[in-house]
Amino acid sequence: MKSKQIQLDELAQLVQGEPIGQNHLLLDGLASLPQAKAHQIAFVNGDKHIEDAQASQAGALIVTAAMREHLSNHQNFIIVDNPYLAFAILTHVFESKVTQRGIESTAQIDPSALIADDVYIGHYVVIGKNVVIGANTVIQSQTKIDDHVEIGKDCFIDSHVTITGEAKIADRVRIHANTVVGGEGFGFAPYQGKWNRIAQLGSVRIGHDVRIGSNCSIDRGALDDTILENGVIIDNLVQIAHNVRVGENTAIAAKCGIAGSTTIGKNCILAGACGVSGHISITDNVTLTGMSMVTGNILEPGTYSSGMGLLENSKWKRTVVRLRQLADVPLTKLVKQIDHMQAQIESIESTLKLRK
Amino acid sequence: MKSKQIQLDELAQLVQGEPIGQNHLLLDGLASLPQAKAHQIAFVNGDKHIEDAQASQAGALIVTAAMREHLSNHQNFIIVDNPYLAFAILTHVFESKVTQRGIESTAQIDPSALIADDVYIGHYVVIGKNVVIGANTVIQSQTKIDDHVEIGKDCFIDSHVTITGEAKIADRVRIHANTVVGGEGFGFAPYQGKWNRIAQLGSVRIGHDVRIGSNCSIDRGALDDTILENGVIIDNLVQIAHNVRVGENTAIAAKCGIAGSTTIGKNCILAGACGVSGHISITDNVTLTGMSMVTGNILEPGTYSSGMGLLENSKWKRTVVRLRQLADVPLTKLVKQIDHMQAQIESIESTLKLRK
Amino acid sequence: MKSKQIQLDELAQLVQGEPIGQNHLLLDGLASLPQAKAHQIAFVNGDKHIEDAQASQAGALIVTAAMREHLSNHQNFIIVDNPYLAFAILTHVFESKVTQRGIESTAQIDPSALIADDVYIGHYVVIGKNVVIGANTVIQSQTKIDDHVEIGKDCFIDSHVTITGEAKIADRVRIHANTVVGGEGFGFAPYQGKWNRIAQLGSVRIGHDVRIGSNCSIDRGALDDTILENGVIIDNLVQIAHNVRVGENTAIAAKCGIAGSTTIGKNCILAGACGVSGHISITDNVTLTGMSMVTGNILEPGTYSSGMGLLENSKWKRTVVRLRQLADVPLTKLVKQIDHMQAQIESIESTLKLRK
């Protein structure tokens, strides 16, 4: 990768920070504190990293004004209020972007498709009937955009993505490799001992600035649409079933699964591998810790959890034995009984003292 | 999507129902009660939806005779015994099917492959040696059918599917996008601190009417075959390991994983994200609720569950502390001890009364 | 599949075993004990399979010297110390390997790519700028190797794999179908209620002899690299987040997820569907049983577990009720209280006896 060289003061300007030291110092990359070289810039993500920062070989550091006081080994800084945000902004400067535009000759595009002029469409992409693709969108090689799908402006769709089910995708959406959007929902009517397939007639609607990781499955709706609102971010290997609705700016980590017709509010955070049942509702501002199991509505914002955590195997085995006994142990009744017995004993003791 | 228009009485005939109202009313789609317009038909899935049905703008409703009594706002009906089943049947009428037939010029097909005349094979499909593909089967773009794979009649294979491991697939099978059938099973012999790969020589056999969702992995067997019997339905992101056998009409929801050499019976239902250990057996007619963890045989039909459910985070933390104490608390012994103490106390109290 | 025929004594030589019986017996495949025919060889994996072995129709058996004593129905054997290992070795003899070499005319290869002479590159493969591919590596159809990716010698990459993020892959690595290596890590800086994407600038480094199953997601690092050390084996549908490091010869079963920046030691075994939190450390020689939930460091080698196991549904419901009471039941305090009450009762009883 050819590296880009940028001056310290130019980088400072991009993050609205104050450059200190050699303003014209040329930097060609971001790096972590332990790995950074003299031609790279690193950031200090909180006071607990001050020691690592002192020891770092980075050519310059992104810090708060307060942190700088402790970094006597260094001379070149960008001073900002929020080093993590400044780092996030600068990653875009050093990223290798797909700058190529045009349509590869091997892409198969139905004549009815409407493709904006300045897109990139890679090799062996297949685009169906009446597809619409907006300006500046990049579609990597071997992706499939099925009939009637619409994709907005400035999107990035990586290789081997399948978009079907007449999905409608807004602007600045990023969909990573091998993800399926608009696949058939899992709908079957049981009848006489067999499963009768319900053809799925709804679609998928994806808002602006949505991000979907790799190997995800986002199913089309049965009748109404599956909906991801603006700003939703989703990690890898996530299942979104038919007719789910996910509210604005909700984040869903890897390996979560949301069953059919469930609604998740805005600004929620689902940590990895959570499972959410179908036909329930989760309000706004709910955080689920990893591997949570949600089987009913969540009506109050807050943080929720499940799972017993990790135990050494032999202790776990004993715990499971106790758990299996627990169903038949009336805990709260027992506590009351013990309290009552304690009172009885004390009463007996008093009686005995009196009669002594 | 160009819409198809069908008369009310024609739709009624398709579901063996009785049309009521304007028999010649033209309808062009199915919709949910809240979304339906005057040119669409909706169905009422049980009495709890009567109110929504009354308020619906649908041009016609699929109902039972009893429901109709409560729907004074409506004039056009199809009367059936099972509205959900009627709906399932009618979805197929309004579905956009792949009607195209033929082989795209860009498909790469080995000359030894036997392809029936009236298939559709999409762009950039790759078909290997001695492959057999039955009549009326649709293989969407960019799919890979590896050497010696056989696929029956009337199948639908979506884009980016990989079928390998000499898999044998029967008729009317549907495999959704980006699924892998016949991938190598995870078999390694540990020897001198290293993992020695066991090449997988078994295959995969898939029965009639099987349905597999998107992003699934169905591994080939080690020596014998992995088997999905007739009528099995599988949702997205499901793992079926080598030498698993799944019985007829069993349904497996998204994100389940079945480890190697396990047998699951007929007519079972696995809700989402269940995990089943290897080398065990689950009998017929077993239902597992979501996120169940199965580590031993299940010999009796019935419903089984695991998981502690969801707790508010601070309560969960206290619960986990208690759980960690539980291993060392002899619950049933304690209950007996408490009962015994209660008896002792009562005996003492009697003695004291007598001596008063 | 055309079958290869090999003599008993030749097979014995391959596993350094002793042939017994008809040395020139021609065998054309490995099979399981119940399925094996007279032209096949089977192996006996421990004494518990002796009965199956006696009943087997196999033409020859791989056994230990001790097992042979009990197999009077059979005449042809290969005697070895470790029949399972011998079986593992012989699977490679009967495996259908990709022997074709060359580059299909439909592969799109950037002129700057360096491709060794004796590779196989399948149809519709797309290879980007400055890619390096080593000798004897097989890349199946429709795979995408993005710019700056490097792949070593003797690798096998199946169809629909996406390798991006400038990943560096060593020798003898096997990556199964539809897996994504080097996808963008899930990094976002929250700011003013929105998620600001952090472009991922790190890469992925994969050691020698690593095996990755189908439908996995192995993300590139944020700044430093995600690392899989030599000999790591990974099953299907596994998530490896950005900046994870997995130590030598660690095995990760299907559906596991490892969150960002976590380090896993050498020779660990993660059974299926384990979830490991981010930014933690697991030492060498740790085994996790299936569905374990790891939220903190593991500093001691050993076996660890979580999960309550499976309960019949009605008992599970009662257990969950008790679990929800458990947070407010001071278990160890109660046990002490009960012991104390027992002592009080005994003391009272002594007193009463004395006063009789």
- The DSSP bridge pattern shows strands B150-151 and B168-169 to be parallel
Architecture of domain A6-94: 3-Layer(aba) Sandwich (3.40)
Token pair, residue C227, equals 């690392």
Which residues of chain A make contact with B310, given a CB cutoff of 8 A? 288, 292-296, 298, 304-306
Task: State how far the Cα of B149 lies from the Cα of B197, in Å rounded to an integer.
Answer: 23
CA distance A340 to B113: 82
Give the sheet arrangement for strand A281-282, strand by strand: A114-115, A132-133, A150-151, A168-169, A204-206, A226-228, A245-246, A263-264, A281-282
Is a pLDDT exceeding 80 seen at residue C1?
no
| pLDDT digits 0-9 by tens, C237-263 | 999 999 999 999 999 999 999 999 999
Q: CA separation (Å) from C61 to A280, C11, C52, C78?
A: 56, 11, 11, 6
pLDDT at B4: 85
Which of C141, C186, C225, C237 should we substitute to test contact with A (largest number of A Cβ atoms within 10 Å)?
Answer: C186
**Beta-carbon separation of B82 and A191 below 8 A:** yes
Contact present, A58 and A92 (Cβ < 8 Å):
no
Give the closest-approach CA distance of C172 to chain A in angstroms: 24
Q: What is the pLDDT of residue A1?
A: 46
Contact present, A157 and A144 (Cβ < 8 Å): no
Q: Which residue of A has its CA nearest to B212?
A: A186
**What whole-number distance in Å separates Cα of residue A278 and Cα of residue A287?**
18
Regarding predicted confidence, which is higher, B344 or B253? B253
Question: How far is the alpha carbon of A75 from chain B, nearest alpha carbon, in Å?
Answer: 45
> pLDDT-based confidence at A331, cuts 50/70/90?
confident
The shortest CB-CB distance from C236 to any of B183, B255, B352 is to: B183
Residue A196: which region, alpha, beta or left (left: phi > 0; alpha: psi -120 to 50)? beta
Instruction: Answer yes or no: do A31 and C217 touch at CB < 8 A.
Output: no
φ and ψ at residue A6, rounded to 5 degrees:
-135, 140
Considering B24, B242, B279, B340, which one is annotated as catalytic?
B242
Q: Are C125 and C104 in contact (CB under 8 A)?
A: yes
B324, burial (CB in 10 Å: exposed 0-12, middle 13-18, buried 19+): middle
What's the angle, vertex CA A249, arms to CA A245 and CA A250, rounded to 5?
60
Instruction: Return the structure tokens found at B340.
Output: 């015994």
Q: What is the pLDDT of residue B75?
A: 96
| Residue whose structure tokens are 């060498």 | C284
Q: Is A257 helix (H, G, I), strand (E, B) or coil?
A: strand
* pLDDT tens by residue, C28-86: 999 999 999 999 999 999 999 999 999 999 999 999 999 999 999 999 999 999 999 99
* Contacting residues of C for A233, CB less than 8 Å apart: 186, 188, 195
Q: Which residues of B touch A307 (CB under 8 A)?
A: 307-308
Average pLDDT over residues A326-355: 88
The amino acid at residue B288 is L
pLDDT at B2 over 70: no
DSSP conformational letter for A301? -
Domain B102-304 -> CATH class:
mainly beta
Banded pLDDT at A330 (limits 50, 70, 90): confident
A200 vs B contacts (CB less than 8 Å): 91
Condensed to tens digits (0 to 9), the pLDDT of residues B46-69 reads: 999 999 999 999 999 999 999 999
Suggest the residue from B143, B224, B268, B306 to mutate for an interface test with chain C (most C CBs closer than 10 A): B306
HSE of C350, CA atoms in CB hemisphere, 13 A: 6
Closest CA to A149 of B96, B18, B214: B96
Q: Chain centroid to CA C77: how far?
A: 31
C249 to chain B: closest CA residue: B194
Q: Work out the average pLDDT over A13-40.
A: 96
> How far out from the chain centre does Cα A190 lie?
35
Contact indicator for C59, C65 with CB cutoff of 8 Å: no
CB A172 within 8 A of CB A154: yes
pLDDT above 90 coverage of chain C, percent = 90
Equal fold, B6-94 vs B102-304: no
- Locate tokens 């339906």: which residue? B36
Q: pLDDT band at residue B1, thresholds of 50, 70 and 90?
A: very low
Mean pLDDT, chain A, rounded, equals 96
> Would the CB atoms of A178 and C160 count as touching at under 8 Å?
yes
If residue B89 lies in a helix (H) or strand (E), which one and from where to where? helix B83-94
Of A196, A277, A338, the CB nearest to B88: A196
C290-313 average pLDDT score: 96
Q: What is the mean pLDDT of residues B317-325?
A: 92
Tokens of C96: 């259908």
Locate the chain C residue with the closest alpha carbon to A273. C275
Q: Torsion angle, CA of A230/A234/A238/A239, rounded to 10 degrees?
A: -10
Handedness of CA C57, C62, C63, C68 (dihedral sign): positive
Using CB atoms, which residue from A198, A239, A259 is nearest to B91?
Answer: A198
**Secondary element (H or E) of residue A341:** helix A331-355
Q: How large is the average pLDDT for residues C300-316?
A: 95
Question: What is the pLDDT, as a whole number, of residue C207?
Answer: 98
Q: Which residues contact A14 (CB under 8 A, 6 or more apart)?
A: A89, A90, A93
Residue A93 has pLDDT above 90, yes or no: yes
Measure A190 CA to nearest chain C CA, in Å. 22
Instruction: Residue B343: count other Cβ atoms within 10 Å of its Cβ.
Output: 10
* Structure confidence at residue B76 as a pLDDT band (50, 70, 90): very high
**pLDDT (tens digit, 9 = 90+) per residue, B145-158?**
999 999 999 999 99
Distance from CA of B187 to the nearest CA of C (A): 9
Pair C165, C128: CB distance under 8 Å: no
CB contact (8 A) between residue B183 and residue C89: no
What is the mean predicted confidence (pLDDT) over B160-176? 98
Touching B (3+ Cβ pairs <8 A), the chains are: A, C
Which residues in chain C are contacts of B193 at CB distance < 8 A?
Answer: 249, 267
What pairs with residue C272 in β-bridges? none
Residues of C labelled as active-site residues: 242
Q: What is the pLDDT of residues A100-109, one digit of tens each?
A: 999 999 999 9
Chains contacting A with at least 3 CB pairs below 8 Å?
Answer: B, C
Q: In this complex, do A318 and B327 lie within 8 Å of one another by their Cβ atoms?
A: yes
Diameter over CA atoms, chain B: 107
DSSP assignment string, C283-350: -TTEEE-TT-EE-S-B-S-EEEE-----EEHHHHHHHHHHHHHHTT--HHHHHHHHHHHHHHHHHHHH
φ/ψ region of A333 (left if φ > 0, alpha if ψ in -120 to 50, else beta) reads alpha
Q: Are C310 and B292 in contact (CB under 8 A)?
A: yes
Cβ pair C310:B326 closer than 8 A: no
Q: Where are the domains of chain A?
A: 6-94, 102-304, 313-355
Take residue A340 and report the two structure tokens written for it: 């009552």
pLDDT at A2: 53
Q: Is C196 in contact with A85 (Cβ distance < 8 A)? A: yes
Q: Which pLDDT does position A31 carry in this prediction?
A: 95
Contact: C311, A324; criterion CB under 8 Å:
yes
Q: Where are the beta strands (DSSP E) in A12-122?
A: 18-20, 26-27, 29-30, 40-43, 60-63, 77-79, 102-103, 108-109, 114-115, 120-121
Is A273 within 8 Å of A256 (Cβ atoms)? yes
The token pair that represents B242 in the structure block: 């080598």
Handedness of CA C52, C54, C59, C62 (dihedral sign): positive
Determine the angle formed by the axes of helices A313-326 and B313-326, rounding to 10 degrees: 100
Q: Which residues pair with B168 in a beta bridge?
A: B150, B205
> Tokens 């091997």 label which residue?
A106
Pairwise CB contact (< 8 Å): C316 & B294: no
Confidence of residue C331 (pLDDT cuts 50, 70, 90): confident
Give the Cα separation of A261 and C313 in Å (integer): 24
Are B189 and C32 inside 8 Å of each other by CB?
no
Q: Which of C108, C149, C223 to mutate to test the interface with A (most CBs of A within 10 A)?
A: C223
Helices A331-355 & C313-326 angle (0-180, nearest 10)? 50
Which H or E run contains C83? helix C83-94
Distance of residue C111 Cα from the nearest chain B Cα, in angstroms = 22
With a cut of 0.90, is the ipTM above it? Answer: yes
Quick check: B313 and A326 CB within 8 A?
no
β-partners of residue B43 are B62
B328/A341 touch (CB, cutoff 8 Å), yes or no: no
Q: What is the pLDDT of residues B259-290, one digit of tens each?
A: 999 999 999 999 999 999 999 999 999 999 99
Chains with 3 or more CB pairs under 8 A to chain C:
A, B
Pick B334's closest partner by Cβ from C254, C327, C335.
Answer: C335
Residue C346's alpha-carbon distances to A345, A353, B173, B338, C272, in angstroms, are: 11, 16, 73, 14, 52
Q: Which residues of C touch A325 (CB under 8 A)?
A: none
Q: In chain C, which residue's Cα lies nearest the Cα of B347?
A: C349
**Residue B55, Cβ density class (10 Å: 0-12 exposed, 13-18 middle, ≥19 buried):** exposed
B114 neighbors B132 (Cβ within 8 angstroms): yes
